[in-house]
Chains A and B, each alone.
Chain A
């Protein structure tokens, strides 16, 4: 009995003080979270490589020999879907660039300069985003049409940037706030201009934060559906609209095809997140403090 207690105490002592879970419990939780996270995607992924009769059966009888990528090639062979994927990439990338550019230009004064109305601006931009976007569809459509930007990539980029800019500015400002001014002060004393200090000292100092903001803007633009539906006709249609078209279609669609389309629609973003995951995690975890 005593030995057991000793063993527990020793084991306890080797763990850090902030460890709140026993190892067994910890690994169980990790496993559960992993299952919770990947299951929906894996299931639809399985649906996208099996003929429908296999998983419509009760219980489903999935067979390895029926695995095929033909639904993916069928989906990509449809010109309008492939174009939609291209459109989403273009629009999301441009939105990300705009958000980073204008966002850092605006976050810099908010973080570093004395300005009247700073609080008002931050407050107003947060409050304005609380209005359900649906209400803005018609005026936005009229505005975009007036500017002749209907069904263009630029039109969608401007609208998406408008929605994502406030939060991007807020994120960048938070990152800037954590960098001590001394770095820029040193640069300025060496003759650097204020803007130069921004580009060459401040932004690089919060590089992970910048990446996190960039990914956030990219994903935000990629995910947008309703404005994409209303503001585009055929040229600039993003892939989210095509997904809805498949799901709300009034004719029989091969479910495996819809599953493949869904997978294709999230693939580029998933790849982006995986490739940049280190920066994202660092940016969000280390960059946002309260």
Chain B
């Protein structure tokens, strides 16, 4: 009796084992390159590692975490982060929804518009920061030039000189980049709404706004929650953008929590503190996502 060939063995393998085999490379890569570094980062957060004094680590338990609560830099960063995340989420969700509604309708040139709309997706966050820095530049920004030409300002003004405006500009830049992806997945959901529902509503005398409220929105609830969640996570993790747009400035006015992790790790060279902050931020994001999901699920019921 011949021994089974490799491919025959393969086929006869039961589902569980076969599935595990297929997933093995992914699991190996993620374990070595993701789980490993995360464990190391957790270890770092339990140590005091100040690189201006020595590269050695000093075990201090949860001291880093405790210190974070009283840290004025953290206390200053939290409201900024909430402001930035809030602006980004609201602005990007609203715009994405509007764009999706527009793209859902048929009009001449729709195919071309869809091509152009994809442009921001192709721009790297590093370059995105440069684009918007140049748009709002005090000396050669387009915004200044346009407002001046329209007579709305008498003199070129500096835009990136305070926290509120700078973070708002960062929000705009972040929204600009996220719009294509968000609008397209909203469009996907929109296109799954059967035409008959609109027709029924129209027959009942519903105007455009009513049709939107009672036909479109209920269908979009799930995907909208997803979009909001995604934007919360993205804005809490924004780094490249702020690095090239403001470098955390003016002063430390645009240092949001994720950027503060960078400042602590690479400018103040306090690795343990930075690791603790990063992990707390991750837990915060997980918690926030969990809460939003729970909220969404309960509402549905």
Is any CB of A less than 8 Å from a CB of B in the complex? yes
Binding site for B on A (CB under 8 A): 16-21, 23, 26-27, 29-30, 33-34, 36-41, 43-44, 47, 52, 55-56, 58-60, 102-103, 105-106, 108-110, 113-116, 121, 125, 127-128, 130-140, 142-143, 158-159, 161-163, 165-166, 169, 193-195, 219, 222-223, 225-226, 240, 243-244, 247-248, 255, 258-259, 262, 265-266, 269-270, 272-274, 277, 280-281, 284-290
A16 to B191, CA, bound (A): 13
Q: Determine which of A102, A109, A135, A280 lies in contact with B41 in the assembled complex, contact meaning CB atoms within 8 Å.
A: A135
Question: Does B291 interact with chain A (Cβ within 8 Å)?
Answer: no
10 contacts between A and B (CB under 8 A): A20-B105, A121-B23, A131-B278, A131-B279, A134-B265, A135-B278, A225-B124, A247-B244, A286-B191, A290-B222
The 9 closest A-B pairs by CB, nearest first: A109-B19, A135-B278, A17-B198, A139-B40, A139-B37, A223-B124, A269-B122, A113-B19, A106-B26
A27 to B109, CA, bound (A): 10
Known A16-B195, A106-B22, A108-B22: A284·B126 in contact at CB below 8 Å = no
Query: Which residues of chain B are within 8 angstroms of A226 by Cβ–Cβ distance?
Result: 239-240
* A interface footprint on B150-193 (CB within 8 Å = 1, 0 otherwise): 00000010000000000000000000100101001101110111
Q: Determine which of B33, B129, B156 lies in contact with A140 in the assembled complex, contact meaning CB atoms within 8 Å.
A: B33
Q: Determine which of A121, A135, A158 lies in contact with B275 in the assembled complex, contact meaning CB atoms within 8 Å.
A: A135
Query: Which residues of chain A are within 8 angstroms of B131 by Cβ–Cβ distance?
Result: 40-41, 43-44, 262
Question: Does B274 interact with chain A (Cβ within 8 Å)?
Answer: yes
Query: Which residues of chain A are within 8 angstroms of B247 by Cβ–Cβ distance?
Result: 248
Select the residue from A114, A131, A169 with max chain B CB neighbours within 10 A: A131
B188 touches A287 (CB 8 A): yes
Query: Which residues of chain B are within 8 angstroms of A265 by Cβ–Cβ distance?
Result: 124, 126-127
Q: Determine which of B101, B193, B208, B244 lies in contact with A244 in the assembled complex, contact meaning CB atoms within 8 Å.
A: B244
Query: Which residues of chain A are within 8 angstroms of B268 by Cβ–Cβ distance?
Result: none
B33 touches A158 (CB 8 A): yes
Binding site for A on B (CB under 8 A): 7, 10-11, 15-16, 18-20, 22-23, 25-27, 29-30, 32-38, 40-41, 44, 98-99, 101-102, 104-107, 109, 113-127, 129-135, 139-140, 142, 145, 148-149, 156, 176, 179, 181, 184-185, 187-189, 191-193, 195, 198-199, 201-202, 208, 211-212, 216, 222-223, 226, 233, 237, 239-240, 243-244, 247, 258, 261-262, 265, 271, 274-275, 278-279, 281-282, 285-286, 289
A128 touches B135 (CB 8 A): no
B282 touches A131 (CB 8 A): yes
Q: How far is the CB of B47 from chain A (nearest CB, A)?
A: 12
A139 touches B36 (CB 8 A): yes
Known A136-B41, A194-B18: A40·B121 in contact at CB below 8 Å = no
Query: Which residues of chain B are within 8 angstroms of A270 by Cβ–Cβ distance?
Result: 119, 122-123
B176 touches A36 (CB 8 A): yes
A43 touches B135 (CB 8 A): yes
Chain B residue at minimum C-beta to C-beta distance from A271: B122
Number of residue pairs A-B, CB distance < 8 angstroms: 291
Known A47-B134, A134-B265: A33·B117 in contact at CB below 8 Å = yes
B37 touches A272 (CB 8 A): no
Known A105-B26, A106-B23, A223-B125: A290·B15 in contact at CB below 8 Å = no
Query: Which residues of chain A are within 8 angstroms of B278 by Cβ–Cβ distance?
Result: 131-132, 134-135
A248 to B15, CA, bound (A): 54
Query: Which residues of chain A are within 8 angstroms of B37 by Cβ–Cβ distance?
Result: 136, 139-140, 143
Known A17-B198, A56-B139: A27·B107 in contact at CB below 8 Å = yes
B26 touches A37 (CB 8 A): no
B274 touches A134 (CB 8 A): yes
Chain B residue at minimum C-beta to C-beta distance from A222: B124
A270 to B113, CA, bound (A): 15
